[in-house]
Chain A
Amino acid sequence: MIYLKLFWEFFNTGLFAVGGGMATLPFLYDIADRTAWFSRQQLADMIAVSESTPGPIGINMATYSGYLTAGIPGSIIATLGLITPSIIVILLIAAFLNAFHDNKFVNGAFYGLRPASCAMITAAGFVVAHVTFINDNIHALSSWERIEWPALGLAVFLIVCTNFVKPTKKLHPVFWIFLAAIVGIVFKF
């Protein structure tokens, strides 16, 4: 029964997540909130593992969350659930490729879908940022002291390195993930 539910949840995600792997993130948060399968904290770790292992991020996250939910069969079922709508939709589109290209209603729908997808990923990003930069455990502290300053410093450093510094801009995300892990261990984040 859990397998059927798992397949259904990821089928839904695959059907409605438009714009690649990260676009599945809002749906995974939704699943985390509605079920006890995995936590928001675990999702953040999952993204890191998915980014630093081979394979498409969306698939890795589905496999990972499926595994946390129901072991190895879960990982296979979640992944199959995620890719099934893609396969159906693409096979249909491939059959009608030219008609699809110039349809004004389809173009209009995507005109609205793209910013919506971007907004939902932004919101999901804020959730990860909250877990990362705000210390919720110690309620006695003032809001100023609840901010994780070392983490925020590292984030600013990484944003600068990955966007503005020419020689480091092109480096692979795995490099930054490893660097961040080492900084975390050394400074006891």
Chain B
Amino acid sequence: MKKLFDLFITFAKMGAVTFGGGYAMLPILQREIVENKKWGTEEELADYYAIGQCTPGIIAVNVATFIGRKTAGNLGGVVATLGVVFPSVVIITLLAGVIEYYSSLEWVKHAFAGIRVCVCVLIFNAVLKLFKKSIIDIKTMAIYLIILACSFMFNISPVVFVIAAGFAGIILKVWAK
């Protein structure tokens, strides 16, 4: 019980001081989990990130589930994950109410118009990073272009793309050799 409580508090603390998502959390995880709490090693963290990157869901959540499970079993995985999302839920819920209230003001509108420009750039940078890692040959380039074209031309659920791309990957990699 004490261990579960410790997991929740530790992950809640990390959730509260991380800005910008899973990658920004890595240095904090290294300090808290590897050096302070000794719940895992550097190598394990790297593995968890690699798996978190290519499994469904938020990377930070995936890593929290892994470490929680390793420390205190399946329940530990659930508790660590709830810990890491707890500060987000509180902070965003408070902010969302305030922002909805102020969003009709002129200067707030101008501020958000400026911020949207920055958001475009941040997405552009995220795509650039991902592109370098995931488009590694002609086949992956083809998948990229086909999915991109399809998402502009047709109004299909992303779920369809994910399933189709998964099968395409298996066919290209396993049978087309």
Contact = CB atoms under 8 A, between A and B. Distances in A.
Contacts of A167: none
B99 interface: yes
B120 A112 contact: no
A188 B110 CA distance: 5
Interface SS, B side? helix
A56 B115 contact: no
Contacts of A63: 88-89, 92-93, 96
Contacts of A58: 21, 57-58, 60-61
Contacts of A114: 54, 130, 133-134, 140
B46 interface: no
A90 B113 contact: no
B143 A86 contact: no
Contact of B55 (A89, A172, A181): A89
B89 to A, nearest CB: 5
Interface string B158-173: 1101101111111111
Interface size class of B (residues with CB under 8 A): 35 or more
Contact of B92 (A18, A55, A185): A55
Interface residues of A, number: 101
Contacts of A177: 115, 118-119
Most chain-A Cβ atoms within 10 A of its Cβ — which of B52, B77, B96? Answer: B96
Contact of B57 (A17, A55, A125): A17
B56 A89 contact: yes
Interface in B8-67: 15-23, 25, 51-62, 65-66
Contact of A20 (B53, B77, B134, B173): B53
A125 B158 contact: no
Contacts, number: 362
B38 to A, nearest CB: 19
Contacts of A173: 19-20, 118, 122
Given A94-B77, A112-B172, A118-B135, A180 B88 contact: no
A185 to B, nearest CB: 5
Interface string A94-134: 10010010001101111111111111111111101101110
Contacts of B15: 54-56
Nearest to A111: B169
Interface string A19-45: 111101111001001000000000011
A4 interface: no
Contacts of B171: 108
A154 interface: yes
Given A63-B92, A163-B128, 12 more contacts: A16-B158, A47-B122, A51-B122, A54-B88, A56-B15, A59-B84, A85-B57, A109-B167, A115-B144, A128-B119, A162-B125, A182-B111
